[in-house]
Amino acid sequence: MGSDISTEQQDRELARMGKALVIHFFVLLKTAQNYKEGHAALNAPLANVLNAIREIHKRNEEASITVKRGYLLIGEVRLKPDSAGLEAFNFVMGEMKRYLIGGLCFLPAVDAEEVQKFVYIFNEIEPIPSPQTHVKFLERMQQRQVFNIELETLGEDDDEYDEFDENELTDKKARSRKIYSQTISAVSEVMDNAKLGQTLRLRKSKRVVQGLIDQLLAAETNLIGLTTIRCHDEYTYNHSVNVCILSLAIGQRIGLSKQKLCELGMSALFHDIGKSEIPLAILNKSTEFSREEWEIMQQHPLLGVKKLMKLKGLDALSARIISGAFEHHLYCDFSGYPRLPYKRLSLFGRIISIADCYDGVTSSRVYSRIPHAPDKALRFMMSRAGKIYDPILMKLFINCIGIYPIGTLLLLDSQELCVVMENNTDPEKWNQPRVKIIADATGKEVSGETVDLADPKSGRTVQETLDPNQYQINVSNYFA
Ligand SMILES: [Fe+2]
Ligand SMILES: [Fe+2]
């Protein structure tokens, strides 16, 4: 995986292979309408479909056809039919829609027999316009033991980030919230599949990570604000998304390309995937771990690597995702775990371990620690820079989340309480963020104004940072 230019070439190549798959699949469906199952006339069309699938898998891509807003996509690439392919495109899309199939994915283990059974299901099920049609189709696949073709329901992806109705979601905050919850759902889907030992499908995750990157590049700082959400039931999902956002924020600061950012985001999103193998009783334990429990817990980076190795084919992208999962507890001086002779941490490993620690230390559910206020967490981490954390990346991290990170609870000299909403972009004014007043000088809760402390008219300065837990304030409320 090189520059963005090579991505373009790869997309073109994938589009060419996708087009071939659609056309061969069309011929196969048509042939199946005219001949009985098992007829020799099916041999050539079946072989062509299979070849097309194999060719895509050889390039470590997913052999999936998706219907989206009147287009067909192969993987993430939109297919543009030429006049020769138009009939095939419309027919395949029409058939998929009739059975409410939004996407179909041929897994690497699929064979000619399964593909044959699959196309005959189109003849066996009456396509009445009801959600039941799709259910019947799935049941029939089960009965006929078609296990290596996966279906997505049409409309399932309707709320994907790229489907946003811009009029409805013009609000920056609403967009950030939406993309955050979509990322949670994508990561939970993958983690649940990982728990069940199923093949990991990362298509959706890749899409949401790209959405996060677009938001970050559009300088919508609300996304970082959302990482203050601490009270989600599933700590690991929340943590994964937060580590992803914070890692991307660092990656953006060091000027990584969009493609590298996507790889970093994926690596960060799945850095703790090995936790899907750790018993919940240990994972959710609210008291100190015993030595045995610690030992089990410390297996999660290696367990994660094993999970990620099962990704369809190993390409450069998966290799980099894996390094993030493997290295995030190793530390720069290798005093962490797993204890293995290791020479050098990868850039992704160094970035993710900073984001991971920051989110872990400031949240309440990791390793039964008491959460630290963001500025205390940063001071604690800064004291370990050079040994545990890469000192330059650490400085960059502070630079991008600010010395009073978004979500910090502050006491002003006016004796008002406020929450940091946005950092000042002017480095000279690092200690003068934009804040929202949440309690007046008498301590009475107010839904107060947003004040720019850098504005001389505000007449207020920061006196000290406070621990939101001590005041029983859930700062994420001000962002969600
Ligand atoms: Fe971890
Ligand atoms: Fe983690």
Ligand 1 centroid, distance to 366 Cα (angstroms)? 10
| CA of 190 relative to ligand 1 center, distance in Å | 16
Q: Whose structure tokens read 């703790």?
A: 272
The alpha carbons of the chain give a radius of gyration, in whole angstroms, of 25
CA of 275 to the centre of ligand 1 (A): 8
**Segment 169-189, tens digit of pLDDT:** 456 667 777 788 888 888 887
Mean pLDDT calculated for residue range 156-169: 44
Nearest ligand to the C-alpha atom of residue 365: 2
| Ligand 2 centroid to residue 239 C-alpha, Å | 7
Residues near 114 by beta carbon (within 8 Å), at least 6 away in sequence: 145, 146, 147, 148, 149
Ligand with smallest separation from the Cα of 240: 2
The pLDDT of residue 127: 79
For the beta sheet containing 434-439, the strands, ordered from the edge strand earlier in sequence to the opposite edge, are 450-452, 434-439, 417-422, 409-412, 462-466
Cα of 111 to ligand 2 centre, how many Å?
A: 39
Question: If you average pLDDT over every residue of the chain, what do you get?
Answer: 82
Alpha helices in 128-286 (DSSP H): 131-143, 172-195, 203-217, 222-226, 235-253, 258-269, 280-283
Give the whole-number percent of the chain exceeding pLDDT 70: 87
Nearest ligand to the C-alpha atom of residue 360: 2
Is pLDDT at 395 greater than 50 in this prediction? yes
Q: Residue 111 pLDDT > 90, yes or no?
A: yes
Ion ligand 2, residue ranges at CB < 5 A? 272, 356
Query: What is the rounded average pLDDT of the residues 186-213?
Result: 78
> Residue 159 pLDDT more than 50?
no
**Residue 67 corresponds to which amino acid?**
V
Phi, psi of 430, deg, nearest 5: -60, -25
Interatomic CA distance for residues 474 and 468, integer angstroms: 7
The distance between the two most distant Cα atoms of the chain, rounded to a whole number of Å, is 86
pLDDT at residue 239 above 70?
Answer: yes
Q: Which residues neighbour ligand 1 (ion) by CB within 5 Å?
A: 272
Least confident of 64-73, 169-178, 365-374, 419-428: 365-374
Question: Distance, CA 327 to ligand 1 centroid (Å)?
Answer: 9
Q: Which helix (H) or strand (E) holds 39?
A: none
Average pLDDT over residues 372-399: 87
Cα of 312 from ligand 1 centre, angstroms:
23
Calculate how far, in angstroms, residue 171's C-alpha sits from the geometric centre of ligand 1: 34
* pLDDT value of residue 480: 58
CA–CA separation, 471 vs 400, rounded Å? 27
Give the Cα separation of 398 and 382 in Å (integer).
9
pLDDT-derived band at 221 (thresholds 50, 70, 90) equals low
- pLDDT at residue 451, rounded to an integer: 92
Burial (Cβ within 10 Å: 0-12, 13-18, ≥19) of residue 250: buried
Residue 65 and residue 118: Cα distance in Å, rounded? 14
